[in-house]
Amino acid sequence: MRTDVVRLGRLSGERTGEMMHFLSSMRVDRCIADADILVDIAHVMMLDKQKINDHEITKQILAALLELHDEGIPEEVFDDQLEDVHAGIEALIIEALGADVGGRMHMGRSRNDEVATCIRIKLREDLLKQMAALLKVREVLIALSDQHRETAMPGFTHMQHAQPTTLAHHLLAYEQAFSRDFDRLRDAYVRVNQCPLGAAAFASTGYPINRDLTARLLGFDSLVTNTMDAVATRDFALETLADLTILMANVSRLCEELVIWSSSFVKFVTLDDAFCSTSSIMPQKKNPDTAEIMRAKTGSVFGAYTGALITVKGLPMSYNRDLQELTPNLWRGMRDVKESLRLLIEMLSSATFDTARMKEEAGKGYSTATELADTLVRNFGLPFRTAHNIVGRAVQKESLSLETLEEAAKDLNVGISLVGKGLTQQQINEALDVNYSIALRKAPGGPAPFATKIASEERKKQLDADSALIDERLARLSKAKEDMIADARRLVA
């Protein structure tokens, strides 16, 4: 077993394997191991530039770090009898170069600023990939909506047939929600991509370090300036998890609809077999399990968020070891969302919508009654409330016809005869027509094919802009990394 280079001086006391396993973050630290090498490289380059470390020392440490970067980190570093990966890598460097050289890597910093920096480096890239997956979901929704601009379907409020709409309109509603989820993550990224390095334990250091330099080398956009805040805060992780929870709530609502729509009494959609399971006893069953699991993942992600939130609640400044327990929540939440989004893209694009069934239901439950009331208003100058009451009373009589409307007007003492004013069965039929009702609703964002076409064009433009932003941010990150590694190689050569 590797010596715990950190404990050596101050502490003795036997620690059992079980104890070390309990205290170690090593398993989870695999996520940040590559980031840790980058942080080490940037820090050592800065120590060199600031003449805090001798150039010969720099060369040796950098050479060893570049080897880890190029060849990968040996498995032995991940020994969970060490506290964390930072201790593991430092121990390896000291073992390889000797204490006089390797022991100078950790000058002017602490694992407190180190770990916070590593988490942010890992998170920012994963966030961008997460956002790219979300763009794909949106793209699928928009493409589907283009195919279903004319597909009439019932729209619901209170789960009751309410007014006819189109499948395009319904799908674009989700796209718009996911677009806001994207915006939230886009904004969170700005606060994730800030550099805590140089904060050391919390009070920074007396060495003449250059925080801007390490931040720039590592591709950060700015600093977490106050050094106490820099090591203590995890609000960037909380914000990310909160945003992911909201995103998953939207995913869950969509999944809920896919479950309902694929039920034997609704039958609006058929999900590809790959996304369904059968029963071990009922041979006929086709269950929409993937959508169900995805719906449930909202709970897991929310659990990760509350787990993280409650870990920091009540923690005094500055670093407390509790923070170590927060990090796994972040990776778990990110993983659940990533897996969900990937499957959602496939599940949606392979689904078959039963447009005939949707059309069949679109006009049920007097779903066009609003349009009939509006017709009475438009044609005969009735106040909307009077027209609303007349149509409502006619519905009570279980049909909407010239006769029932006339009776309803009489019942309600409206004081006019609709027939006398010229209402015809043809006007009624027109008002009750599903497609007529949909076509009239062409205000921005409405269900009319005219409106969803415009919406789709606008959404595609937004999608292109969002996609360009992701590309630009990813390119900036990889350029920073390439530049730093190239600089490090030049220093060593």
Contacts with ligand ARG by CB under 6 A lie at: 25, 83-84, 111-112, 115, 319, 321, 323-324, 327
What are the residue numbers of the active site?
A: 158, 279
* Helix, strand or coil, per DSSP, at residue 319: coil
Output the smallest distance, CB 6 to ligand ARG, in A.
Answer: 8
Contacts of 369 (CB under 8 A, 6+ apart): 391, 392, 395, 400, 432
Least distance (Å) between residue 53 CB and ligand ARG: 22
Report the residue number, 262 or 324, with the smaller CB distance to ligand ARG.
324
Question: Which residue in the block uniquely carries the two structure tokens 């269900």?
Answer: 447
Cβ–Cβ < 8 Å for 85, 30: yes
Of 230 and 323, the one with the shorter C-beta distance to ligand ARG is 323
Comparing CB distances to ligand ARG, the nearer of 84 and 361 is 84
CB of 103 to ligand ARG, least distance (A): 18
- Give the whole-angstrom CA distance, residue 472 versus residue 265: 47
To ligand ARG, the closest distance from the beta carbon of 38 in angstroms equals: 16
Burial pattern 64-97, b for ≥16 Cβ within 10 A else e, equals bbbebbeeebeeebbbbbbbbbbbbbbbbbbeeb
- The closest alpha carbon to 341, from 129, 132, 131, 134, belongs to 134
Can you read off the two tokens belonging to residue 263?
């039920």
Let me know: does 405 contact 390? Beta carbons within 8 Å: yes
Are 52 and 352 in contact by the 8 Å Cβ rule? The answer is: no
Comparison of 26 and 405: residue with beta carbon closer to ligand ARG: 26
CB nearer to ligand ARG: give 241 or 345: 241
Q: At residue 194, what are phi and psi to the nearest 5 degrees?
A: -125, 145
In terms of CB distance, is 329 or 389 closer to ligand ARG? 329
Is the Cβ of residue 61 or residue 115 nearer to ligand ARG in the bound state?
A: 115
3-state DSSP assignment of residue 287: strand
| Bridge partners for 157 per DSSP | 160
DSSP string of 65-102, one letter each residue: HHHHHHH---GGGG-TTSS-HHHHHHHHHHHHH-HHHH
83 or 466: whose CB is closer to ligand ARG?
Answer: 83
The closest of 120, 37, 20 to 72, measured between CA atoms, is 37
Tell me the Ramachandran region of residue 73: left when phi exceeds 0, alpha when psi lies from -120 to 50, beta otherwise: beta
Distance CA 61, CA 402 (A): 91
Cβ burial, residue 307 (10 Å; 0-12/13-18/19+): middle
How many residues are recorded in the chain? 493
Of 369, 308, 358, 362, the C-alpha closest to 333 is 308
